[in-house]
Amino acid sequence: MKDHVLKRGIEMQGNPKGCSSFGGSMAAKLEYCRNRAMELFALYGYRPFSPAELQLLSGVWDNLPHSEAEKLIALTSPYGEPCVLRGDLTLSAVTYLSHFSDEERPLRLSYAERVFSVPKPPKHNLEQNQIGVELIGWEGAGADVELLALLFRTLDMLGIDSVIALGDMSVTAKIFSALPKDVSEILTGHLMNGSYTAYEKTLESLNLTADKTTLLSALPSLRGGVETIDRAAELTDNPALFEPLKKLCASLDSLGYGKKICIDFSFLRELGYYSGPVFNVYTKEGTLLGGGGRYDGLLAKLGMEGEAAGFALDLKELADNCSGSLPLPKLMLWCGAADSAEVLKFAEELRSRGISFELSWNKNREESKSAAHLRKYGIWADFSEKKIYDLNSGKEYGFDAFDRGLL
- Give DSSP secondary structure letters for 43-105: HTTPEE----SEEEHHHHGGGS-HHHHTT--EEE-TTS-EEEE---HHHHHHHGGGGS-GGG-
State the pTM of this model. 0.87
Return left, alpha or beta for 237; rule: phi > 0 is left, psi -120 to 50 is alpha, else beta: alpha
Contact 298, 202 (CB under 8 A): no
Contact 169, 294 (CB under 8 A): yes
What residue type is assigned to position 204 of the chain?
E
Dist. CA 347–CA 29, nearest whole Å = 24
Contact 356, 329 (CB under 8 A): yes
Three-class SS of residue 277? strand
Dist. CA 227–CA 210, nearest whole Å = 24
Which letter does DSSP use for residue 159 in this model? T
Return left, alpha or beta for 213; rule: phi > 0 is left, psi -120 to 50 is alpha, else beta: alpha
Three-class SS of residue 333? strand
HSE, CB side, 13 Å, CA atoms: give it for residue 109: 25
Dist. CA 50–CA 32, nearest whole Å = 19
Which letter does DSSP use for residue 234 in this model? T
Strand 331-334 vs strand 357-360: parallel, antiparallel, or unpaired? Answer: parallel
| Residue 388 CA: distances (Å) to CA of 14, 18, 347 | 38, 44, 14
In DSSP notation, 85-99 reads: E---HHHHHHHGGGG
Q: What is the pLDDT along the chain (407 residues), one digit of tens a residue?
A: 445 544 544 455 678 888 988 888 889 999 999 999 999 999 999 999 999 999 999 889 888 888 888 999 999 999 999 999 999 999 899 888 878 887 888 899 999 999 999 988 888 899 999 999 999 987 788 999 999 999 999 999 999 999 999 999 999 989 888 888 889 989 999 999 899 999 999 999 988 877 778 889 999 999 999 999 999 999 988 899 999 999 999 999 999 999 999 999 999 988 778 889 999 999 999 999 999 999 988 888 888 888 899 999 999 999 999 988 887 788 999 999 899 999 999 999 999 988 889 999 999 999 999 999 998 899 999 999 999 999 989 899 999 888 776 65
Residue among 259, 366, 326, 251 nearest 34 (CA): 326
φ and ψ of 169, to 5 deg: -70, -20
